[in-house]
Amino acid sequence: MSGAVLALTPHGRKLALLIGSRTGFAVYLPAKLVMPGDSVRPFDSLRDCLEEAFARERQLVLVMAAGIAVRLLAPLLVGKQRDPAVVVLDEGGRHVISLLSGHFGGGNRLARQLASAIGAVPVITTATDTAGLTAVDVLAETFQLLPEPFVRIKEYNCAQLRGETVAVFADGWPPSLEREEGLCFRQRDDYLSLRQQFAWRAVITDLACWPGAEGDLHLRPASLYVGLGCRRGIAAAEVLAAINTVFLKSNLAPASLAALATIEARRDEPGLKQAAKLLGKPLITFSVREIQALEVPYRHSPFVYQNMGVGGVCEPAAILAAGGRLLVEKQKLNGVTVAAARAASPWWDLAQARKGS
């Protein structure tokens, strides 16, 4: 886990240091409470400190009254899809309250983990949890899947609370996934034959769409890697336009993009770096030696070999980044070459890629 712990008082300081030691979270304390030897980050203004941590961290632990937390957090809230998980603890460490982003942000999971770590009682108030149901966005958070459209999550949760079942279709299931209340799991190959049996359907896929799936909730794994080659001085807008064009033509979901990849010689190309930053994805680079050692066949170009020392850039970069198979062969678009590959790992093993994006 990574995150931040904020406390306000001497008693809160002790609990914050305990939590920091057991979780690895950064500890923030008022400057006047910092003692010699403390490995903490001091602050003078709680409001400013919390605002910075809220924007930077994905998990926040607040050792303070829930009322103080609510008043300070209210102006910072953006939405379920972007707000970090926030839990609140009393200074005695008796209760861990999941306050914000309980499902998709992982607040409920964080509350349970902290409670177990310090011997406290987790306080979970989300309706599906108190009803003993596994909400579809909890499934998404567990496996780091991005729901689309996210606004439909509330409808699906309400349907489960009414006693309706959400059918989740996917290409295979992890052995560890047991039956979950409120959900049933089906193979995606059975989608067309079973879709009429379920009013509420979720599909785990990196394909943008297919016949019959209109109106469903899509859960996007981070399974697609884009390999890029480009001319010097390419603009980020041209890179993004090329990626969008390829995804649209190839029926691939942009929300499943895991990373961009290119040759090491283009590591510092401003247009590629800016495109990756705007997408919020890493830019992975590979050396000439790594590309030369690739045994998987890809299309070779004498021009690219003359300039780069390898027969191609975008296709081998995509294959190496994904560790899987090529989905889209090299496409030339206004000074950009684009290829796409799908990760070799099954969707349930891709959570770490999503967490790191």
SS3 content of the chain, % helix, strand, coil (to 5): 40, 25, 35
N- to C-terminal Cα distance for the chain? 15
Phi, psi of 341 (to 5 degrees): -135, 155
Question: What residues does 252 pair with on adjacent strands?
Answer: 207
pLDDT at 309 over 70: no
Whose structure tokens read 């306080």?
Answer: 123
Dihedral (C-alpha) 351, 352, 354, 357: value to the nearest 10 degrees?
Answer: 180
Of 282 and 357, the one with more pLDDT: 282
Considering the segment(s) 4-125 as one domain, its CATH architecture is 3-Layer(aba) Sandwich (3.40)
What is the torsional sign of CA 193, 199, 204, 210?
A: positive
pLDDT of 23-62, one tens digit each? 999 999 999 999 998 889 999 999 999 999 999 999 999 9
User: Phi-psi region for residue 87, left (φ > 0), alpha (ψ -120 to 50) or beta?
Assistant: beta
Q: Looking at residues 291-304, what average pLDDT do you find?
A: 69
Q: Predicted confidence band at 180 (pLDDT cuts at 50, 70, 90)? A: confident
Q: How far apart are CA 192 and CA 293, in angstroms?
A: 42
- Domain covering 136-220 assigned CATH 3.40.1390.40 in the classification: yes
Q: For 35-44, what is each residue's pLDDT tens digit?
A: 998 889 999 9
DSSP category for residue 218: E
What one-letter code names the amino acid at 234?
I
User: d(Cα 339, Cα 341) in Å, to the nearest integer?
Assistant: 7
Residues 6+ away with beta carbon under 8 Å from 195? 201, 212
User: Is the pLDDT assigned to residue 161 strictly greater than 60?
Assistant: yes
Partners of 230 in beta bridges: 336
Helix (H) or strand (E) holding 117: helix 107-118
pLDDT single digits (tens) 322-353: 998 899 999 999 889 999 999 999 999 987 66
Of the chain, the percentage scoring pLDDT greater than 90 comes to 69
Domain 224-355 top-level CATH class: alpha beta
| Number of continuous H segments (helices) and E segments (strands) in the chain | 14, 17
pLDDT reported for residue 214: 77
**Are residues 279 and 260 in contact, defined by beta-carbon separation less than 8 angstroms?**
yes
Question: Model confidence over 195-236: pLDDT tens digits?
Answer: 889 999 999 999 998 777 778 999 999 999 999 998 889 999
Is the pLDDT at 116 greater than 60? The verdict is: yes
Name the residue ranges covered by the structural domains of the chain.
Answer: 4-125, 136-220, 224-355
